[in-house]
Homo-oligomer: A and B are copies of this chain.
Amino acid sequence: MAEQHELRDKGLRLTPQRELVLSAVRELGHATPEEVAEKVRATHPGINLSTVYRNLETLENVGLVQHTHLGHGGATYHASEVLTHLHLVCGTCGSVGDAPIDVAANFVQNLADDYGFKTDVSHFAIYGLCAACVK
C-alpha cells in the first residue's frame, strides 16, 4: 500500500505549489500563511497568497498540517508530525514558550471526567505572564 508520495497517499494531486507549501511549513516550525508564502517565494517567486491559503486548508483537511492560535489575531500553521506541545504566550512581552503536553494531562482528564469534553490543549495558546514579566 505504501505508495510513492505522501501527498498522493492522501488522495491529493501533487503540484509544485502544494509540495512547497508543505515543505515551508515543516521548515518554519510555526508560520502564518503570509510567512509560508514568503518562504515558498524563495524558490517559486510567482506563488499566489490565495494558493497558499487554499493549500494550507487542503493539507489540514488530510491531517498533514494543523493550525494554532498564538495571538489575538490570525492562525499559525505547523506540521502534524511535530509532537504537539503547548504554547505559553506572554501578554506583556509577547514571548512564546513551549511546554510538553503532559503538564496538562491532569487538566485534560478533569475536563473529560467532569464534562465529557475531549480537549485539544494545543489549538489555542495558553495565555499569561512569563517568568521574566511576573517580576
Interface residues of A (CB under 8 A from B): 69, 72, 75, 88, 91, 97, 99, 103-104, 106-107, 110-111, 114-121, 123-131, 134
Q: How far is the CA of A107 from the CA of B124 in the complex (A)?
A: 15
Q: A134 with B114: in contact, given A69-B72, A91-B123 (CB under 8 Å)?
A: no
Once A104-B107, A106-B107, A107-B103 are accepted as A-B contacts, the answer to whether A119 and B123 lie under 8 Å apart by CB is no
Cα(A99)–Cα(B115), bound, Å: 8
Tell me which residues across on chain B come within 8 A of A106, comparing CB atoms.
Answer: 106-107, 110
> Within the assembled complex, what's the spacing in Å between the Cα atoms of A129 and B36?
29
Across-interface contacts of A130 in B (CB, < 8 A): 115-117
Known contacts A75-B72, A91-B123, A124-B127; A134 and B107 CB within 8 A of each other = no
- Could you pull out 24 A-B pairs where Cβ atoms are within 8 angstroms? A69-B72, A72-B75, A91-B120, A97-B117, A99-B114, A103-B107, A103-B110, A103-B114, A104-B110, A107-B107, A111-B126, A116-B131, A117-B130, A117-B131, A117-B134, A118-B128, A120-B127, A120-B128, A120-B129, A121-B126, A123-B127, A123-B128, A124-B125, A124-B126
